[in-house]
Structure 1
Amino acid sequence: MSDTDLQAIAAIADRTEAEASSGSAAESALAWLSASHTDVGRVRPVNEDAFLDSQEQRLWVVADGLGGQSRGDYASSTVVEQLRAFPRQKSVLANLQDIEARLQVAHEKCRTAFRRHRPGTTVAALLAHGNYCFLLWAGDSRIYRLRGRQLALLTQDHSLAQEKLARGELSEQEAASHHSAHVLTRAVGTHRNLRLDMRSLPVQRGDRYLLCSDGLYNPVEAGAICAALGQGSPEEACRSLVDLALKGGGRDNITVVIADANAP
């Protein structure tokens, strides 16, 4: 992350910790309930997705090993194993710096584990702290938020198609189906340096967050994702979403993690 990102994190961190010390955050603190589900799909022989669903750490992660690379399953599992050992601290800034450092370790492991191959993976991580959530990602695994009946995409894909869209060379509809949508410009393990994007957002009671691999959103339209995501418990919504992707062909591995922000 850049110095500007770290300054933004520090500002949010100061605000979050000031609220906690004043007691106002404690009165409105959010409890979290989550669920997760993954499926190899109907075509791929190996599931190269991995995920972390940790209510205790209030950390949720999806990693999608790159199918065009050898041992994408190694890369995604390396990311998750690094973050599984994350020791949550009181400081927001310390937590985020630790997560970034662990992803850098996973990046170096991927680059040096094999002599002839360089496995890669996407990563999308959500950390809840007080009444804020912090998103870190690289690649095209996504994080959505359902607030009321409105579905919002909170991350931006790191792909050539997204860059063409930003330059006005493609429309949103064209970018979604363009062949360059599968060419990633950032990922763990694939380039010399790992560049992560970060975003912080206030959480409202009743928000539902979805982390997913592209095996979900490629075959399932946003409207169908929104409808299924809003139904039932996190576990029920997870299974509904995976079923939709399977009915859409299941041509890729499918992974979904859902986290609900609720009052205790």
Structure 2
Amino acid sequence: MSLTLQFTVRSDKGLVREVNEDSVYAAPHLLVVADGMGGHAGGEVASSVVISHMAELGPERTRAEPMEALREAILAGNLAIAQAVRDAPQLNGMGTTITAVLMEADSDQFVVANVGDSRTYLMRAGELVLLTRDDSLVQTLLDDGRITPAEALAHPQRSMVTKALVGGEPLSPALFRLETLPGDRFLLCSDGLSDLVAESELAVALGLPSRDEAADRLVQLALGAGGNDNVSVVVADVVHDDAPADAPVISRAPLQEEEAPERRGRTGRTVFVLAAVVVAAAVAVYLFS
């Protein structure tokens, strides 16, 4: 049985941050969310660099072994961050998390990859399951029994990651394979959502019949909870591959300085979405010319 993905992408810079450092890629066989870090050091550059490498897996279903393909793409993105810093030393300190889902060719299986605290969830038959484990200080405290899940939501260091793509350092992404079924729904998100919204609320929103409504509701929940970080979501449904295919997209929110002052603070910001090939080419020209 061969399966594919239909998806909705949303990204918002939130109510506090001046720049959206998240980058998102979605295609019928690949979903990726990258949450850039480094602020003025170039978090948005780091996430874009990595997304440009991940996008090479997306337009056509890969025939390579998917776990190894994901690993190699992530490692290539990490090396590209190191090269970008060598070319522009002012970017030193930038990095990004990443979470990704890649569908296996001619199969009902998929591979999940994760580095950092962006997350991948799976909803099946109304039950929401967190597939990834955060590489974060708060997760370590939870594992040690030093804080409760409720305390984790309000922990002042909940955004501190213990692993990320920062270039140069040896990197071992978490990778695993699972089976999927038609009707499954994935949620990939940056921590601008998961740090602020309880999983019970995520489950209710993700259970909405429309992917668009679900994605919009998830962003609204993050903004309603304070919106103190960028928030990006991909909501994707697993369908038979004879269903109409969605066009691949890369999503980046506009920089704050391009936004009219009277619009700041609104929750209905428009996401800037372009075809993957066009944006990937633009990113490559900007970074490596």
Shorter-chain TM-score: what band?
Answer: 0.7 to 0.9
Letter in 2 for 1:136: A
The DSSP-based 3-state class of the residue aligned with 2:172 is coil
In structure 2, do the counterparts of structure 1 residues 182 and 31 end up closer, same or farther at CA, with 3 Å as the change threshold?
Answer: closer
2:232 paired with 1:259: no
Match of residue 184, structure 1, among 140, 158, 161: 161
Q: What is the aligned partner in structure 2 of residue 49 from structure 1? A: 22
Q: What is the aligned partner in structure 2 of residue 123 from structure 1? A: 98
The DSSP-based 3-state class of the residue aligned with 2:158 is helix
Letter in 1 for 2:137: L
Match of residue 40, structure 1, among 13, 16, 33: 13
1:175 deviates by 3.1
The DSSP-based 3-state class of the residue aligned with 2:32 is strand
In structure 2, do the counterparts of structure 1 residues 69 and 196 end up closer, same or farther at CA, with 3 Å as the change threshold?
Answer: farther
**1:208-219 matches, cutoff 5 A:** 208-219=185-196
In structure 2, do the counterparts of structure 1 residues 192 and 105 end up closer, same or farther at CA, with 3 Å as the change threshold?
Answer: closer
Q: What is the aligned partner in structure 1 of residue 142 from structure 2? A: 165
Match of residue 137, structure 1, among 114, 121, 125: 114
Letter in 2 for 1:73: E
1:69 deviates by 6.4
2:55 paired with 1:84: yes
The DSSP-based 3-state class of the residue aligned with 2:117 is coil
TM-superposition CA deviations, 1:1-24 (whole Å, max 9, x none): xxxxxxxxxxxxxxxxxxxxxxxx
> In terms of mean alpha carbon deviation, does 248-257 or 170-179 score higher?
170-179
Q: What is the aligned partner in structure 1 of residue 32 from structure 2? A: 61
The DSSP-based 3-state class of the residue aligned with 2:114 is strand
> In terms of mean alpha carbon deviation, does 104-113 or 246-255 score higher?
104-113
Q: What is the aligned partner in structure 2 of residue 95 from structure 1? A: 69
1:67 deviates by 4.8
Name the CA distance, whole Å, in 2 between partners of 1:71 and 1:172. 31
TM-superposition CA deviations, 1:25-64 (whole Å, max 9, x none): xxx3223211101011111111111000112xx1110011
Quick check: 1:106–1:188 contact (8 Å CA) kept in 2? Answer: no
Quick check: 1:120–1:187 contact (8 Å CA) kept in 2? Answer: yes
The DSSP-based 3-state class of the residue aligned with 1:219 is coil
Quick check: 1:159–1:180 contact (8 Å CA) kept in 2? Answer: no
Quick check: 1:69–1:120 contact (8 Å CA) kept in 2? Answer: no
Name the CA distance, whole Å, in 2 between partners of 1:191 and 1:102. 11
The DSSP-based 3-state class of the residue aligned with 2:77 is helix
Match of residue 206, structure 2, among 229, 235, 247: 229
Name the CA distance, whole Å, in 2 between partners of 1:74 and 1:147. 35
Name the CA distance, whole Å, in 2 between partners of 1:258 and 1:75. 23
In structure 2, do the counterparts of structure 1 residues 34 and 164 end up closer, same or farther at CA, with 3 Å as the change threshold?
Answer: same
Name the CA distance, whole Å, in 1 between partners of 2:85 and 2:172. 15
Equivalent pairs, count = 235
2:51 paired with 1:74: no
TM-score, structure 2 length as denominator? 0.75
Q: What is the aligned partner in structure 2 of residue 153 from structure 1? A: 130
Quick check: 1:110–1:120 contact (8 Å CA) kept in 2? Answer: no
Structure 2: tracts of 5 or more residues without a match: 243-289
1:195 deviates by 2.5
Letter in 2 for 1:166: D
Q: Give the CA RMSD over aligned residues.
A: 2.0
Name the CA distance, whole Å, in 1 between partners of 2:167 and 2:137. 15
Quick check: 2:112–2:177 contact (8 Å CA) kept in 1? Answer: yes
Letter in 1 for 2:98: V
The DSSP-based 3-state class of the residue aligned with 1:179 is coil
Structure 1: tracts of 5 or more residues without a match: 1-27
**Seq. identity, %:** 35
